[in-house]
Amino acid sequence: MFTGCLTALITPFAGGNIDQRALADLTEAQIAGGVHGVVPCGSTGESATLTHDEHIAIVREVVHLVRGRVPVIAGTGSNSTAEAIRLTRAAEEAGADGALLISPYYNKPTQEGIYRHYAAVAEATRLPLIVYNIPGRTASNISPETMGRLSRIPNIVGVKEASGSLAQVLEVIHATGPDFAVYSGDDILTLPIMAAGGKGVISVVANIVPRDFSALADALLAGDLERGRTLMLRLLPLVQAMSLEVNPIPVKTALALMGRCADEFRLPLTPISPPARAKLEKVLREYELV
């Protein structure tokens, strides 16, 4: 299905609105950088502060900008199953190639509730669906056993695994089988997850260096671990800098420093603190990005 480096796109704002020009430039830069797909309206895209109309409009615009050159996997998750279905159907109508759905947050559903949530969305769409497991944001973890059950639903094709546990990743790979794609949801774990059989990464850092992160994914898909290690170690300072503050504050700030978008967020996200900004600028200078 989808493999390689899939970029979790930021959402650029200008004067409180979506910056259409910056969105177009950023999307084109990703394709020029050789990424294998783009993911608008996820956590990195500040989806939690987008209106439904904005959400759907961004997906539609990215599909238009991409023009079929790479897959567009729309973020359509919600803690309301009905809302997730509505957003997923809208993404399908907009021409997206797939959908990424965060596990229901705040509700803290049981494993059975998580299973039924995804099963209901899958029943309502023909799109290939990628589950997104990130317990640090959702307050619930999708167990490998539940992932195994979900993998048997035909149009649930993969999982963005961001539990931070390599042991869990291995258990998920074992529980789901070779036809189910496991993607790294943490840039820092791309090397070990893909070396263990993962099919790619849904990357934050690729917003900044799409060519370099795509090269990393290509090397690992080809089984070239030596080149993968070399590339990962070179990328390490950039990857670590993305954790200076909560995502997507560092990555959007980096793009702003590179002149690619405005340094603008929607509350409750705020501009990066001066100490973190200084550290980020130092890393960008060392990587010759500013």
Q: Please identify every residue annotated as catalytic.
A: 132, 160
Q: 13-14 and 17-18 as β-strands: parallel, antiparallel, unpaired?
A: antiparallel
Q: DSSP of 31-91, one letter per residue?
A: HHTT-SEEE-SSTTTTGGGS-HHHHHHHHHHHHHHHTTSS-BEEE---SSHHHHHHHHHHH
Contact between 7 and 38 under an 8 Å Cβ cutoff? The reply is: yes
Coil, helix or strand for 5? strand
First-to-final CA distance of the chain: 36
- Dihedral of alpha carbons 176, 179, 184, 189, sign: positive
- H-only helix segments in 95-165: 111-124, 135-138, 144-151
Burial class (CB within 10 angstroms; exposed 0-12, middle 13-18, buried 19+) of 112 = exposed
- Strands, sheet with 129-133, edge to edge from the N-terminal-most edge strand: 37-39, 4-8, 200-203, 181-184, 156-161, 129-133, 98-102, 73-75
Closest among 105, 68, 48 to 246, alpha carbons compared: 48
Amino acid at 185: G
